[in-house]
Amino acid sequence: MKNISTAWLHLLNRSRLKPLAPIAGGAIALMLGGILLHVSGANPLQAYGVMFAGAFGGTRQLTETLLKAAPLLLIGLGMTIAFRCRVWNIGAEGQYYIGALCGSAIALTYPALPSLILIPLMLAASIGGGILWSGLAGLLHLYRGVNLIISTLMLNYIGILLVQYAARVPLQQPDGFLPESAQFGDNAQIPTMLGTRLHWGFGLALLLVGAVYLLLWYTPLGFQLRAVGSRLSVAKCVGINTSRSILIALTMSGGLAGLAGILEVSYTYTRLKGDISDSYGFSGILVALLGQLHPVGVLIAAVLFSGLMVGAQSLNVVLQIPASVAQVIQALVVLLVLAGQAIARAKRDDAIPLVAHDG
Amino acid sequence: MPWEQVLTGSFLIALLTAGIRLAVPVLLAVLGEIITERSGVMNLGIEGIMLVGGLAGFVTAQTLEQATGIASLAAWVGLLIGLLTGAAMGLLMAVLTVTLKTDQVVTGVTFVLLGQGLTSYIFRRATGLLGARVTGLQSWAVPGLSTLPVAGDILFNHNAIVYLTVALVVLCWLLLFRTHWGLELRAVGENPAAADTSGLRVQTIRYLAVMVGAALAGLGGAVLTVVQLNIFTEGIMAGRGWIAIALVFFSRWHPGGALVGALLFGIADALQYRIQALGFKALPYEFLLMLPYVLTLVVLVWGSRQSNTPAALGIPYSKGKG
Amino acid sequence: MSDDREDSNQTAVEMGRITKRFPGVIANQAIALDVKAGEIHALLGENGAGKTTLMNLLCGLYEPDEGEIRIFGQLMRFRSPKDAIAAGIGMVHQHFRLVESFTVAENIILGQTKGLWRDSPQRLHAHLQTLAHQYSLTLDFTARIWQLSVGEQQRVEILKALYRRARVLILDEPTAVLTPQEAQDLMATLRHLAAQGTAIIFISHKLKEVMALCDRVTVLRDGQRVGTVAVPQTTEQELAQMMVGRTIKRQRRTDPPERLPQTEPALILKQLSVMGDRQHLALRAIDLAIYPGEIVGIAGVDGNGQRELEEAIAGLRPFSQGELWRTGNLAHIPSDRYSMGLLTEFSIAENLVLRDVQHPPFQWRGLLRLAWIRKYAVDLVQRYLIRTPSVQTRAGNLSGGNAQKVVFARELTRHHQVLLAAQPTRGLDISATEFVHAQMVARRDAGTAVLLISTELEEILCLSDRIAVLYEGRIVGMMDGASADVHQLGLMMAGKTAVGHAQLADQTPSFYPAEADRRTRD
């Protein structure tokens, strides 16, 4: 037993094999998920087969997976920026909702604008909303010393409830019965790309993978954000404006979460409702972590997470096995990877606790 | 509908009575989280733990009630199982955050997703849970006191869990501030290095604190499903776990503050149900639901800065690195 | 405790031939120490002499590699501090281990309680009052730690140790953080404790205190025991000599080129006062002027305001009073490489551009010029003789000397008129030290104003053109580097005398350079 654990540690210690940690964690999580399936009377192999086919087994399935990956990818990219600067933004869910609200408000207020003007406006408004909502927590942190973890957490539910109110009262469809807005016009629905069912939002998210990569490793700003995340006291000592860096990292992640919100509303729901998220804000945090805070890793993790969700839906249809098994597997992967990394770090004995700056 | 028609005496009595009842599950979770955070560990997974405890308790109670027909016994055993399930999840949380020193924020968020996924899966997979009900606990009117006008109805005509929870607030306060255990628990959360040099076992105390906290969260979940709503559905906690975390900060890590905060939540919750039912438009119910979060933010912004926050909150402790 | 007086000649602590090695260093080499009950025994030595290691062995934090420890005659093996506490060893650390938000009483009883319920405060306080009275310690048991002065907090630590029935009390630099009055009170307390039979080990740098308080002195140097002397049979001069040794080589670097008469100071501190972290005045009205082409050394025992002086000049700490004038840029070699100077997770190349990455030539139109940065880094690695497999190596993987060279390379390559070097050779081996010294002299000769803050007296003597002595946040003396007297300097560092006030007055600048970068109270 000890040999196995040391071999496992050895594997984790080799930085070149670092990407293997999530893969190994994923394998164990699938095994545990298999046990859950087995105990509940299903055949795990058959179930995984159905899930895989449902997520990646054809163009239609793959498209669905990539579409669902878009919001996870956007939020995960934002979290990558924030966590690289060691800023604990766990308010992505609220920023996502507020982004959706701001974008929807534009779509509903100017229904007659041409698509080419309206959609950029909606996107800009959603990003602005996300920036505002995250920036609020940032300002409370910088000026009043309010713990970022708690303030972003509080703002999650305030944001969600604001959207529920907006969808029920001020933005509700005239003469409608349900708490939801009128359906967006075609001009407010984000167009698809080149004859596929993939919308341009996904293309934008892919572009942002490159952009975030560039930002973090090829610009002075990204360099400074990483420096602040690496050691705040050193960054301060070499003259980096650490408050500014924290605020930038926080609002960038907030803006991206807001963008994810309007894309989902515009394409998937085509109207503002009180329930527009599949816990994307929280899953996005895990996606960023699983992707090792690297944009390409985040892309892979987002596709895998969304593949699990989409595959689990066909599991539900074909074998009547509840789709929530996907969420269980996701959580297990993350817990196992966290544990593995923690053990490896303890062995290296340079454990730097991942606490927020005010921790 | 005008205010005068709503704010009648009987309405207020019913509102306060319901508010007290609705406060209980959250209050249990808050008390637990206060104990956990006083030891320096932040458990953000409360929502998930409440869900798992709530399901485990409900399934136990329902099965037992079917088998024995004794509703109260079934309910009590269900609550116990909810408590134990919570403690088990607390043990897992402690292994991760105390021993392995994984990040407490991410671990907590993952626990919520785990709890949501697991309970949803089991609920949908297990046939017969949909629409299943349990009887729960009967109200027990306190002899003498329950006949008092107004107060009798509001305070002294509840089920046993309500009285027990109030007792637990006092017990929690005694534990934290009147026993040596409480002193040691708080020392570990304030300055683990000092506690260590004073001969306290920091990691053991943190394990216990996380497990007790999670056990109370599991119990709170079971109280909601078994005793109050008598059913289980997906996402039945509806953010009560997050409310609990907010209220811990609102309470400034004090059981008395927890009581006040949980009552505020309970009354706001009861009010929003009624406002929705009455179709009362002047006050959107969403704003009532926001109240606990907004109040907590207000307390954090304008309260004296960081006083009472356990100084080592969220920071893992390694011997010799003090 | 009543029979303690009769045992006062008993040996309380006996450490025999203690050796402790750490990777690459022998911290303690065959050290013997004996302390009698009722004795106040000083442990004297410079930084790095091995005092702290020796005491950590005694209080159970480490186990010795060789040698034995006897407490009241009994052979001991401490596996943890708990064992040492049980054996009657009480340690008052330099950084107190107290729970700030707890009351005095709560801190004292923490971990020593029986039963579940706490005593009523009245009863507890009465109980503690008896104990405190026995040792003539006055404390408000209801006060919370954060409300107390440093001296009072120290008393809590002492009483905490006594509550645990400590028969041997170790105090690590106890007066370093105290005001003179508090130090007086502490000494009275310690005398009282000793009179009641407690063995006291008093770790200090300060000769005056040692002479005034202690019965015997053991001097350590370079991990070895120089000797143990009885205080009545020795003098401060002798102790100073034992402490710094006769080995200080006055290897003067080349003297500076003649200062041109019309040069103006590049750095001026005028009546600068700065608060420390504990909200005490860490620097008190410092006046200092440093001219281009000279090295001014700040000598002094650690904890006399060095850190605050460094941070104030580097702009990391606000002043509470006074002014600071500087011409041109500042190059800063920080006292703590890893919490101020280097990002261990970043590559050498990244660390080399850390300070100026947002400026050309490191960036062009918002993008980093990675090829340029790499070339620049390769060039600096060669020029500064940084031994590393590549410029992409993580800085955390470098040896201390090479890591320091990275900091030097980064800071000295910037255009600067003032070089602030704080403890620049701390933890470095001889060759790296040589390198660092050569760099500083080269900057000086090139016309930079150099301020060297160092607790290494040898380093100060070797490099400085002028030496200022920092003691309790004040500059207590200023002397010429070439002719400075080692013993005089040692005494001033120990707070013995304040001389050279006349010279000091000369240094107060009467004019301010017109283009100086002026920073006032912020």
Question: What single letter denotes the amino acid at residue A353?
Answer: P
The whole-number pLDDT of residue C248 equals 47
Helix (H) or strand (E) holding B26: helix B9-38
For residue B162, give the CATH number of its domain: 1.10.3470
Contact across the interface for C102 and B320, Cβ inside 8 Å: no
The whole-number pLDDT of residue A340 equals 84
B218 compared with C144, residue with greater pLDDT: B218
DSSP C394: B
Backbone phi and psi for residue C405, each to the nearest 5 degrees, phi listed first: -65, -35
Question: What are B228-257's pLDDT values in tens digits?
Answer: 999 999 989 988 999 999 999 989 999 999
* B35 interfaces chain C, CB cutoff of 8 Å: no
pTM of the model: 0.85
Write the secondary structure of chain A as one string of H (helix), E (strand) and C (coil).
Answer: CHHHHHHHHHHHHCHHHCCHHHHHHHHHHHHHHHHHHHHCCCCHHHHHHHHHHHHHCCHHHHHHHHHHHHHHHHHHHHHHHHHHCCCCCCCHHHHHHHHHHHHHHHHHHCCCCCHHHHHHHHHHHHHHHHHHHHHHHHHHHHHHCCCHHHHHHHHHHHHHHHHHHHHHCCCECCCCCCCEECCCCHHHCCCECCCCCCEHHHHHHHHHHHHHHHHHHHCHHHHHHHHHHHCHHHHHHCCCCHHHHHHHHHHHHHHHHHHHHHHHHHHHHCCCECCCCCCHHHHHHHHHHHCCCCHHHHHHHHHHHHHHHHHHHHHHHHHCCCCCHHHHHHHHHHHHHHHHHHHHHHHHCCCCCCCCCCC
CATH 3.40.50.300 intervals, chain C: 2-244, 248-329+417-522
Q: Please, is A301 exposed, middle or buried when counting C-beta atoms within 10 Å of its C-beta (0-12, 13-18, 19+)? A: buried
Does residue A206 register a pLDDT over 60? yes
The whole-number pLDDT of residue C24 equals 65
Contact across the interface for C368 and A220, Cβ inside 8 Å: yes
Question: What are C64-83's pLDDT values in tens digits?
Answer: 999 999 999 999 998 888 88
Does residue C5 register a pLDDT over 60? no
- Contact indicator for B262, B31 with CB cutoff of 8 Å: no
Q: What is the mean pLDDT of residues C478-506?
A: 67
Number of structural domains in chain A: 1
- A277's tokens: 């998220």
Predicted complex ipTM exceeds 0.85: yes
Contact across the interface for C110 and B195, Cβ inside 8 Å: yes
Does residue B94 register a pLDDT over 90? yes
Contact across the interface for B121 and A328, Cβ inside 8 Å: yes
CA pair distance B41, B204, nearest whole angstrom: 12
Report yes or no on A357 lying in a domain. Answer: no
Domain of residue B127, residue span:
3-136+158-302
Residue in chain C lying closest to A241 (CA): C355
Of C339, C346, C368, the CB nearest to A233: C339
* B187 interfaces chain C, CB cutoff of 8 Å: yes
Q: What is the mean pLDDT of residues C325-330?
A: 89
Contact across the interface for C367 and A223, Cβ inside 8 Å: no
* C374 interfaces chain A, CB cutoff of 8 Å: no
Q: Are strands C199-204 and C40-44 parallel, antiparallel or unpaired?
A: parallel
The whole-number pLDDT of residue A6 equals 46
Report yes or no on A208 lying in a domain. Answer: yes
**What fold, for C248-329+417-522?**
Rossmann fold (3.40.50)
For residue A97, give the CATH number of its domain: 1.10.3470
CA pair distance A34, A45, nearest whole angstrom: 8
The whole-number pLDDT of residue C414 equals 86
The whole-number pLDDT of residue C433 equals 81
Q: How many CB pairs under 8 A join B and C?
A: 62
Contact across the interface for C117 and B178, Cβ inside 8 Å: yes
B218 compared with C62, residue with greater pLDDT: B218
Instruction: Grade residue B315 by pLDDT with cuts at 50, 70 and 90.
Output: confident
Does residue B97 register a pLDDT over 90? yes
C-alpha distance from A232 to closest chain C C-alpha (Å): 9
Report yes or no on A355 lying in a domain. Answer: no
The whole-number pLDDT of residue C259 equals 60
Residue C367: CB atoms within 10 A of its CB come to 11
Q: What is the mean pLDDT of residues A19-36?
A: 84
Q: What is the mean pLDDT of residues C467-489?
A: 86
Question: What are C363-373's pLDDT values in tens digits?
Answer: 888 899 999 99
The whole-number pLDDT of residue C252 equals 62
Q: What angle do CA A66, A72, A78 make, to 5 degrees?
A: 130
Does residue C303 register a pLDDT over 80? no
Q: What is the mean pLDDT of residues B130-136?
A: 86
CA pair distance C478, C288, nearest whole angstrom: 10
- Contact indicator for B255, B10 with CB cutoff of 8 Å: no
The whole-number pLDDT of residue C507 equals 43
Does residue C140 register a pLDDT over 70? yes
C-alpha distance from A169 to closest chain B C-alpha (Å): 9
CA pair distance C457, C313, nearest whole angstrom: 22
Instruction: Grade residue B79 by pLDDT with cuts at 50, 70 and 90.
Output: very high
Does residue A349 register a pLDDT over 50? no
CA pair distance C133, C139, nearest whole angstrom: 10
- C257's tokens: 């080129």
Q: What percent of chain B has pLDDT over 70?
A: 95
Of A189-193, A195-199, A307-311, which one has max mean pLDDT?
A307-311
Does residue A226 register a pLDDT over 50? yes
DSSP C94: S
Instruction: Grade residue A197 by pLDDT with cuts at 50, 70 and 90.
Output: confident
Of A147, A161, A327, the CB nearest to B116: A327
Length of chain B: 322
* B191 interfaces chain C, CB cutoff of 8 Å: yes
Of B297-301, C216-220, C236-240, which one has max mean pLDDT?
C216-220
Architecture (CATH level 2) of domain C2-244: 3-Layer(aba) Sandwich (3.40)
Of C316, C344, C346, the CB nearest to A236: C316
Residue A234: its chain C contacts at CB < 8 A? Answer: 338-343, 354
Mean pLDDT, all residues of chain C: 84
- Range of weakest confidence among B19-33, C123-137, C252-266, C403-417: C252-266
Sign of CA dihedral A130, A131, A135, A136: negative
Report yes or no on B319 lying in a domain. Answer: no
Residue B2: CB atoms within 10 A of its CB come to 8
Residue C116: its chain B contacts at CB < 8 A? Answer: 179-181
Does residue C514 register a pLDDT over 50? no
Q: What is the mean pLDDT of residues A250-259?
A: 97
Instruction: Grade residue B68 by pLDDT with cuts at 50, 70 and 90.
Output: very high
Instruction: Grade residue C518 by pLDDT with cuts at 50, 70 and 90.
Output: very low
CA pair distance A183, A185, nearest whole angstrom: 6
Q: What percent of chain C has pLDDT over 70?
A: 87
Residue A149: its chain B contacts at CB < 8 A? Answer: 42, 44, 105, 314
Instruction: Grade residue B6 by pLDDT with cuts at 50, 70 and 90.
Output: low
Find the chain A residues whose C-beta atoms sit closer than 8 A to any C-beta of C: 214, 217-221, 223-224, 226-227, 230-231, 233-239, 350
Q: What percent of chain A has pLDDT over 70?
A: 91
Residue in chain A lying closest to B246 (CA): A154
Report yes or no on A60 lying in a domain. Answer: yes
Residue B126: its chain A contacts at CB < 8 A? Answer: 40
- Contact indicator for A111, A255 with CB cutoff of 8 Å: no
C-alpha distance from B165 to closest chain C C-alpha (Å): 22
- Range of weakest confidence among A207-211, B142-146, B176-180, C73-77: B142-146
Instruction: Grade residue C42 by pLDDT with cuts at 50, 70 and 90.
Output: very high
The whole-number pLDDT of residue C347 equals 93
Report yes or no on B174 lying in a domain. Answer: yes
Question: What are C242-301's pLDDT values in tens digits?
Answer: 876 654 454 566 666 666 556 789 999 999 999 887 677 889 999 999 999 999 999 887
Report yes or no on A334 lying in a domain. Answer: yes
The whole-number pLDDT of residue A26 equals 84
CA pair distance A323, A307, nearest whole angstrom: 12
Report yes or no on A359 lying in a domain. Answer: no
C-alpha distance from B311 to closest chain A C-alpha (Å): 9
Of B183, B196, B322, the CB nearest to C106: B183
Of B190, B193, B200, the CB nearest to C111: B200
The whole-number pLDDT of residue B183 equals 94
Domain of residue A119, residue span:
2-348
* C150 interfaces chain A, CB cutoff of 8 Å: no
Give the CA-trace dihedral at A92, A98, A100, A103, to 10 degrees. Answer: -130
The whole-number pLDDT of residue A288 equals 94
- Contact indicator for A53, A324 with CB cutoff of 8 Å: no
Number of structural domains in chain B: 1
Backbone phi and psi for residue C72, each to the nearest 5 degrees, phi listed first: 45, 45
The whole-number pLDDT of residue C204 equals 82
Instruction: Grade residue A309 by pLDDT with cuts at 50, 70 and 90.
Output: very high
C-alpha distance from B313 to closest chain A C-alpha (Å): 7
Instruction: Grade residue C482 by pLDDT with cuts at 50, 70 and 90.
Output: confident
Does residue A13 register a pLDDT over 80? no
The whole-number pLDDT of residue B304 equals 55
C-alpha distance from B185 to closest chain C C-alpha (Å): 10
Instruction: Grade residue C510 by pLDDT with cuts at 50, 70 and 90.
Output: very low
Of C55-64, C282-291, C502-511, which one has max mean pLDDT?
C282-291
